[in-house]
């Protein structure tokens, strides 16, 4: 059940910002000169692929190895196997973070009857 809640949280986070990010990305892509940098193709001439996001634990189980990234794109780190690379992002919510904080503070104070906390969702997006 915890995985389902986090998957929904990640999907909600994605849905909230996807439209704004798509419009912003299209605009910055067209104005940044990126089209010329990749051989003069414009966005209409070169399709950007789509793929489902993957939880970092799934990539680790498949043998992907972590690699460091710069702050560009706000990725926390990346996962790589051969030529396949993913950038990974925290998909946490304030509500889930608050639950963890309450439980951990209760533990520190010796008043916590339950150690269960929501996992920190880290989702990875395939690069192209």
Q: How far apart are CA 127 and CA 73, in angstroms?
A: 12
Q: How far apart are CA 43 and CA 116, in angstroms?
A: 46
Dihedral sign (CA 53, 44, 25, 8): negative
Q: What per-residue confidence (pLDDT) applies to 39?
A: 54
Tokens in use for 10? 């990640």
pLDDT tens, the chain, 128 aa long: 344 444 444 444 444 444 334 444 444 444 444 444 445 545 455 688 999 999 999 999 999 999 999 977 899 999 999 999 999 999 999 999 999 999 999 999 999 778 899 999 999 999 98
Q: Model-level pTM greater than 0.85?
A: no
Sequence-distant (6+) residues with CB within 8 A of 20 are none
Q: What per-residue confidence (pLDDT) applies to 47?
A: 80
Domain ranges of the chain: 2-126
Do the Cβ atoms of 60 and 88 come closer than 8 Å?
Answer: no
């Amino acid at each position: 059940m915890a995985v389902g809640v986090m998957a929904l949280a990640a999907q909600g986070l994605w849905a909230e910002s996807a439209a704004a990010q798509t419009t912003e990305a299209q605009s910055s892509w067209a104005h940044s000169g990126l089209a010329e940098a990749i051989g003069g193709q414009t966005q209409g001439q070169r399709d950007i692929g789509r793929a489902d996001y993957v939880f970092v634990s799934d990539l680790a189980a498949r043998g992907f190895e972590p690699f460091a990234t710069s702050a560009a794109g706000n990725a926390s780190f990346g996962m790589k196997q051969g030529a396949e690379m993913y950038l990974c992002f925290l998909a946490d919510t304030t509500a889930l973070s608050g639950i963890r904080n309450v439980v951990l503070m209760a533990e520190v104070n010796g008043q916590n009857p339950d150690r269960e906390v929501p996992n920190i969702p880290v989702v990875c997006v395939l690069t192209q």
